[in-house]
C-alpha cells in the first residue's frame, strides 16, 4: 500500500486503474464479511444489507489540520483525473471509490484519511458488482494472505453460505470484557458538564456537546469483521462502517449526494430506552405503550426541542449557500434499539458542481456534535472535555469518481486496533450528548452510556449500560 500526503497527491497524483463488472450472484454483505474474518485491512459501509465491503489497500491519502477536508477533496479529484477505469454500470458506488474517516477537530493529532481498496464489492437494489484497483504502472503486488482481484472476489463469494437465517452458522456467545475509564471518570464527566453549563450561563455558548470515552478490553480476540457483523445485525437501520480502525453503527447521515440532490438527517434531542425492551416484532403491547409514551415525552420536552432546533438551524445555514433549493419538513421521532431521537430530514439541490466532500467541509462540525455558536462550543470542548476525540464525531463515508457519495457522522463508534479487539489491546469506545443550560449532568452521563450500548454490546460488555 502506498501512503501519501493529500497535498502531494494533488500536486503529483498516483495513476490508478479500476475495473468494475457486475456480479451474477445476489450478495449478502453480512455473510460476505464472515468470509473475511482473518483480514486486517477490511473497509465496510452498509445499511439494511446494501453498501460495500472491500479489502487490500492500494493507496491511503492523509491530511491533517484545518484544511484537511479540502486537501482530501483536491487529492481525490486529482487522482480521479489521472486514473483510468472501465465501468459499464455507472451508478453510485461503481468505478473509482474511496472510503474515508475524518478527524473531528482541526487540532487533532489523528490524521484524516481516504483509502482506495484493492477489491470493493458493492450491492444495491439493482444487484451486485466488484471493482478492482491497481497501480497503472503494474508495480503493485497483490497480498498473498487472502483472495484478491476479480478471481479472488468470486472465489470468496463462492464460499459464502446461501442467503437466509437457516444457513448461517451460530455466532459465538460474546465473552465478558473489562471496562476502564478513559480520559474522564464518571464523576469527572459530570463535573465537566457542570463547568460547561456555567460557561453557557455566562453567555459563551447556547449549546455544547461533550463526549467521553471508556477503554474496553475483551476476554478473547474479536476480529473487526465479527464486531461489524454484530452491529449490522442488531442495528440494521444504522450505517455500519469500518474505515482505518474506526468502526461503528451510526444513525446520523451528514450528507448523501446523488445526481445533484442531497439528503441530510439531523439528530438532536434524545430519550433513553430501557435495555432489552424488545424489537418492533417482539415487544409486548405494554412495551409498545411505554415506547409511545416515551416518544410523546420527547416530542414535548422543551430542552430537547431547543437542542434539536439549534442543530437543524446550523445545518440549514451551512447548506443554503451551496444549494439552489433546500427543504426541511417538520421534525419527527426515530426509534432505535437503545434510544429515541428527534430527527429532521433535509433535502436540496446543489448549485453548480459542488461535490460531497465540499458539502462535508461546509457542514462539519454540526451543532449536533459540537454545539453553537461553533467557535465558542469548540473552544469549550477543547478546554473541558479532556481528550482528543480523534475521528469520533467526525465525518465517515465514501466518495466516487463523480464527486458524489454518502457521509455520516462517526457516532456509536470506537477506535479499534488493527485486526480487531483482543486482550491487551483496549478498544476506545465513545459516547456524547448535547448539553443545554438546563441539562441534568447526571442524566447526561446516563445518556452517554446509552449511546455507547451498541459498541459495548458488540464487544461483549454485558449489563454495563443497563
Strands 178-181, 246-250: pairing is: unpaired
On average, the pLDDT of the chain sits at 89
Q: Which helix (H) or strand (E) holds 110?
A: none
The stretch 125-132 carries a mean pLDDT of 94
User: Is 444 considered catalytic here?
Assistant: no
CB contact at 8 A, 269 and 305: yes
- Of 207, 385, 447, 464, the active-site residue reads 207
Do 161 and 299 lie in one domain? The reply is: no
Query: d(Cα 406, Cα 256) in Å, to the nearest integer?
Result: 4
Do 145 and 184 lie in one domain? The reply is: no
Task: Report pLDDT digits (tens) over 314-346.
Answer: 999 999 999 989 999 999 999 999 999 999 999
> Cα separations (Å) of 210 from 194, 196, 271, 459?
11, 9, 17, 23
pTM beyond 0.85: the answer is: yes
Task: Indicate the DSSP class of residue 167.
Answer: G
Do 159 and 185 lie in one domain? The reply is: no
CA angle 388, 390, 392 (to 5 degrees): 110
> Which residue carries 466518495 as its cell?
399
Range of the domain at 356: 178-237+253-458
Task: Report pLDDT digits (tens) over 381-440.
Answer: 999 999 999 999 999 999 999 999 999 999 999 999 987 888 888 999 999 999 999 999
pLDDT band at 466 (very low <50, low <70, confident <90, very high): very low
CATH of the domain at 182: 3.60.120.10
In a domain, 246, yes or no: no
- Of 71, 252, 307, 406, the active-site residue reads 252
Number of domains composing the chain? 2
User: Is 451 considered catalytic here?
Assistant: no
Amino acid at each position: 500500500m502506498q501512503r501519501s500526503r493529500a497535498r502531494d497527491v494533488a500536486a503529483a497524483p498516483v495513476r490508478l486503474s479500476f475495473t468494475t463488472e457486475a456480479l451474477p450472484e445476489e450478495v449478502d454483505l453480512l455473510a460476505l464479511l464472515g468470509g473475511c474474518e482473518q483480514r486486517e485491512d477490511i473497509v465496510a459501509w452498509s445499511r439494511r444489507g446494501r453498501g460495500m465491503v472491500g479489502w487490500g489497500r492500494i493507496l491511503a491519502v492523509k491530511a491533517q489540520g484545518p484544511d484537511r477536508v479540502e486537501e482530501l477533496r483536491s487529492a481525490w479529484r486529482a487522482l480521479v483525473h489521472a486514473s483510468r477505469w472501465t465501468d459499464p454500470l455507472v451508478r453510485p458506488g461503481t468505478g473509482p471509490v474511496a472510503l474515508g474517516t475524518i478527524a473531528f477537530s482541526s487540532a487533532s493529532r489523528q490524521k484524516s484519511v481516504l483509502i482506495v481498496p484493492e477489491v470493493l464489492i458493492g450491492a444495491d437494489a439493482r444487484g451486485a458488482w466488484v471493482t478492482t484497483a491497481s497501480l497503472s504502472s503494474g508495480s503493485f503486488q497483490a497480498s498473498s494472505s487472502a483472495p484478491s482481484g476479480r478471481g479472488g472476489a468470486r472465489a470468496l463469494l463462492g464460499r459464502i453460505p446461501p442467503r437466509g437465517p437457516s444457513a448461517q452458522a451460530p455466532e459465538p456467545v460474546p465473552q465478558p470484557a473489562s471496562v476502564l475509564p478513559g480520559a474522564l471518570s464518571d464523576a469527572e464527566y459530570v463535573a465537566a458538564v457542570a463547568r460547561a453549563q456555567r460557561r453557557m450561563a455566562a453567555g459563551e455558548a447556547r449549546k455544547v456537546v461533550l463526549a467521553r470515552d471508556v477503554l474496553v478490553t475483551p476476554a478473547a480476540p474479536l476480529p473487526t469483521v465479527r464486531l461489524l457483523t454484530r452491529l449490522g445485525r442488531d442495528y440494521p437501520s444504522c450505517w455500519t462502517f469500518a474505515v482505518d480502525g474506526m468502526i461503528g453503527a451510526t444513525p446520523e447521515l451528514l450528507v448523501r449526494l446523488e445526481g445533484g440532490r442531497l439528503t441530510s438527517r439531523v439528530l438532536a434531542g434524545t430519550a433513553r430506552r430501557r435495555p432489552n425492551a424488545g424489537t418492533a416484532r417482539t415487544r409486548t403491547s405494554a412495551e409498545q405503550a411505554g415506547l409511545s409514551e416515551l416518544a410523546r415525552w420527547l416530542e414535548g420536552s422543551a430542552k430537547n426541542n431547543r437542542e434539536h432546533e439549534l442543530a437543524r438551524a446550523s445545518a440549514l445555514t451551512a447548506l443554503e449557500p451551496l444549494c439552489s433549493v433546500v427543504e426541511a419538513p417538520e421534525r419527527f421521532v426515530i426509534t432505535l434499539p437503545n434510544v429515541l431521537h428527534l430527527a429532521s430530514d433535509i433535502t436540496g439541490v446543489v448549485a453548480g458542481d459542488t461535490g460531497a466532500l465540499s458539502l462535508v467541509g461546509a457542514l462539519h462540525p454540526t451543532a449536533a456534535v459540537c454545539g453553537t455558536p461553533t467557535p465558542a462550543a469548540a473552544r469549550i470542548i477543547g478546554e473541558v472535555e479532556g481528550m482528543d476525540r480523534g475521528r469520533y464525531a467526525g465525518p465517515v463515508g465514501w466518495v466516487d469518481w463523480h464527486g458524489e457519495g454518502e457521509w455520516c457522522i462517526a457516532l456509536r463508534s470506537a477506535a479499534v486496533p488493527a485486526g480487531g479487539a483482543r486482550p491487551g489491546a483496549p478498544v476506545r469506545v465513545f459516547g456524547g450528548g448535547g448539553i443545554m443550560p438546563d441539562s441534568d449532568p447526571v442524566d447526561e452521563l446516563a445518556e452517554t452510556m446509552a449511546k455507547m450500548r451498541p459498541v459495548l454490546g458488540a464487544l461483549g460488555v454485558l449489563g454495563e449500560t443497563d
